[in-house]
């Protein structure tokens, strides 16, 4: 590596301002990610007259408004025991209510996706230093599915949860904001869904 490039990288890493873009030293790409950048990185020691040019890519203009906050509705206590007493007609009616509820929210642009969860599964945990991959134990509070909402705020998400057709049967709806950054591990960031 040319000394000027190494010195430019040191110059880049010694300042607290944040920059995302490209750092080019005498035509050599030295940096191309979000890093701290010193405002004046010229001249770069190592070669007389060499300077670092710092260029930030243009921010594309977007006509799209920023997305509304995201919330997860988790449907708990949704195992077979909760539905066992229903007649065939009651089950059909309940299915229609669930589908109509979801379809209305989708038409209003408030739900992005939702899925039921299978009853079978595995639980992975650690016990005395050993990784355990054991059978999924059905519990009263089993999560039966989820909705991923985009709505104005927590109050609106809770109002939607109150409409859940399963509430009279004993289902519980947990409403959780989806965070961009983990509240306990600040270096863990959310990722966008994979493009299809």
pLDDT in tens, 65-102: 667 899 999 999 888 888 999 999 999 999 999 999 99
3-state secondary structure the chain: CCHHHHHHHHHHHCCCCEEECEEEECCEEEECCEEECCCCCCCCCCCCCCCEEEECCCCCCCCCCCCCCEEEEEEECCCHHHHCCCCHHHHHHHHHHHHHHHHHHHHCCCEEEEEECCCCCEEEEEECCEEEEEECCCCCCCCCEEEEEECCCHHHHHHHHCCCCCHHHCCEEEEEECCCECCCCCCCECCCCCCC
pTM of the model: 0.62
In angstroms, the CA 3 to CA 47 distance is 8
Which are the contacts of 27, defined by CB distance < 8 A and separation ≥ 6?
none
Residue 194 has pLDDT above 50, yes or no: yes
User: Is it the case that residue 13 has pLDDT exceeding 70?
Assistant: no
Q: What is the mean pLDDT of residues 10-33?
A: 44
Give the pair of three-digit tokens for residue 27: 């035509």
* Mean pLDDT, rounded, for 8-21: 44
Q: Is the model's pLDDT at 104 over the cut of 60?
A: yes
- CATH 3.30.70.1060 segments of the chain: 70-177
Could you tell me if 3 and 26 are in contact, meaning their C-beta atoms sit under 8 angstroms apart?
Answer: no
Distance CA 161, CA 175 (A): 7
% of the chain exceeding 90 in pLDDT: 39
- Kindly tell me if the per-residue pLDDT of 140 is higher than 70: no
The residue-averaged pLDDT of 139-159 equals: 90
Q: State the CATH class of domain 70-177.
A: alpha beta
């Amino acid at each position: 590596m040319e000394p000027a490039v190494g010195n430019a990288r040191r110059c880049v890493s010694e300042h607290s301002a944040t920059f995302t873009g490209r750092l080019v030293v005498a035509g050599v790409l030295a940096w191309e990610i979000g890093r701290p950048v010193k405002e004046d990185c010229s001249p770069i020691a190592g070669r007389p007259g060499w300077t670092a040019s710092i260029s930030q890519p243009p921010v594309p203009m977007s006509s799209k408004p920023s997305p509304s906050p995201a919330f997860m509705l988790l449907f708990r206590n949704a195992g077979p025991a909760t539905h066992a007493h229903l007649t065939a007609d009651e089950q059909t009616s309940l299915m229609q209510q669930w589908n109509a509820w979801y379809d209305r929210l989708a038409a209003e642009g408030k739900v992005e996706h939702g899925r039921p969860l299978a009853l079978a599964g595995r639980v992975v945990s650690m016990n005395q230093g050993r990784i355990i991959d054991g059978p999924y134990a059905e519990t009263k509070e089993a999560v039966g599915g989820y909705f991923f909402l985009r709505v104005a705020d927590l109050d609106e998400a809770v109002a939607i949860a109150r409409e859940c057709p399963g509430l009279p049967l004993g289902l519980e709806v947990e409403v959780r904001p989806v965070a961009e950054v983990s509240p306990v591990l600040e270096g863990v960031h959310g990722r966008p869904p994979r493009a299809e």
